[in-house]
């Protein structure tokens, strides 16, 4: 399958590495590829190594513009930060994403005042809904935003994979496509469909608790198991 990834941070890299290993044709997108490759400093918030360092050992994954990544993908992953999402999708272009499945992993976090971040949007709206409104012809599926990058692509690394992932979206066929990638590709066993895209409010508002758990546990390797 042809897959486009928007975002070159730790989430975009983890997805690109995993999906490439599964045999998919992956391109990873950024605003300005030359500038991204030229950066020498690690990410100021998460400490992630410069993209060029990662790309040196993953050179088979082309670095392209957001628009070219969107055009390439039959399925496109939005792995940009919440604050960057609107502009990234504008640069990708509505036409390039029309009639495609967009897996939205973004969370509405604002780090401008340091840690812990605050939510950009909450209660009566969500980034998932905003993305769907901005891209009415795109089939948006919200998922993977409640776990860290490594757990996203390797759920078995934690509790043998016995934990729960959530999914929201309006299109049943799109959710079936994403479920297949999550379960058959990444190895998720328990993917809980919460309903339409408005249910993304709940998973996005889980972020403050996720941050508190991370700070308390001193690790990002944790998840939720829904017992029912």
Task: Please report, rounded to a whole number, the percentage of residues in the chain having pLDDT higher than 90.
Answer: 87
The residues near 44 (Cβ < 8 Å, ≥ 6 apart) are: none
Segment 120-157, tens digit of pLDDT: 898 999 999 999 999 999 999 999 999 999 999 999 99
Structural contact between residues 80 and 6, judged by C-beta atoms closer than 8 angstroms? yes
pLDDT grade for 40, boundaries at 50, 70 and 90: confident
Structural contact between residues 224 and 159, judged by C-beta atoms closer than 8 angstroms? no
The predicted structure's pLDDT at residue 44: 64
Q: What is the mean pLDDT of the chain?
A: 95
> Which has the higher per-residue pLDDT, 173 or 108?
173
The residues near 134 (Cβ < 8 Å, ≥ 6 apart) are: 86, 89, 94
The predicted structure's pLDDT at residue 221: 96
Structural contact between residues 135 and 94, judged by C-beta atoms closer than 8 angstroms? yes
Residue 109: pLDDT above 90? no
Structural contact between residues 29 and 7, judged by C-beta atoms closer than 8 angstroms? yes
The predicted structure's pLDDT at residue 82: 86
Q: Which two tokens stand for residue 41?
A: 């400093």
The residues near 216 (Cβ < 8 Å, ≥ 6 apart) are: none
Residue 212: pLDDT above 90? yes
| Domain architecture of the chain: domains with CATH | 2-217 (3.40.50.720)
Q: In what order do the strands lie in the sheet with 2-6?
A: 63-65, 25-30, 2-6, 75-78, 101-104, 139-143, 164-169, 190-195
Q: Which helix (H) or strand (E) holds 193?
A: strand 190-195
Rounded mean pLDDT, 177-194: 98
Strand partners, 166: 192
The label of the residue with tokens 């309903």 reads 195
Rounded mean pLDDT, 88-94: 97
Rounded mean pLDDT, 41-70: 90
pLDDT grade for 46, boundaries at 50, 70 and 90: low
């Amino acid at each position: 399958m042809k897959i486009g990834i928007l975002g070159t941070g730790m989430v975009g890299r983890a997805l690109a590495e995993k999906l490439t290993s599964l045999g998919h044709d992956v391109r990873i997108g950024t605003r300005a590829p030359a500038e991204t490759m030229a950066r020498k400093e690690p990410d100021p918030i998460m400490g992630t190594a410069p993209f060029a360092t990662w790309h040196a050992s993953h050179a088979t994954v082309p670095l392209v513009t957001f628009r070219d990544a969107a055009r390439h993908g039959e399925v496109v992953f939005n792995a940009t930060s919440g604050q960057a999402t609107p502009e990234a999708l504008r640069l990708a272009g509505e036409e390039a994403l029309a009639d495609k499945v967009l897996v939205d992993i973004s969370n509405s976090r604002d780090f401008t005042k340091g840690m812990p971040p605050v939510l950009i949007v909450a209660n009566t709206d969500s980034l998932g809904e905003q993305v769907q409104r901005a891209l009415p012809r795109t089939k948006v599926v919200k998922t993977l935003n409640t776990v860290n990058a490594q757990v996203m692509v390797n759920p078995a690394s934690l509790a043998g994979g016995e934990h729960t992932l959530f999914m929201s979206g309006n299109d049943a066929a799109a959710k079936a496509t994403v479920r297949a990638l999550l379960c058959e590709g990444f190895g998720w066993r328990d993917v809980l469909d919460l309903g339409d895209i408005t249910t993304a409010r709940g998973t996005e508002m889980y972020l403050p608790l996720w941050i508190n758990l991370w700070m308390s546990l001193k690790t990002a390797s944790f998840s939720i198991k829904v017992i029912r």
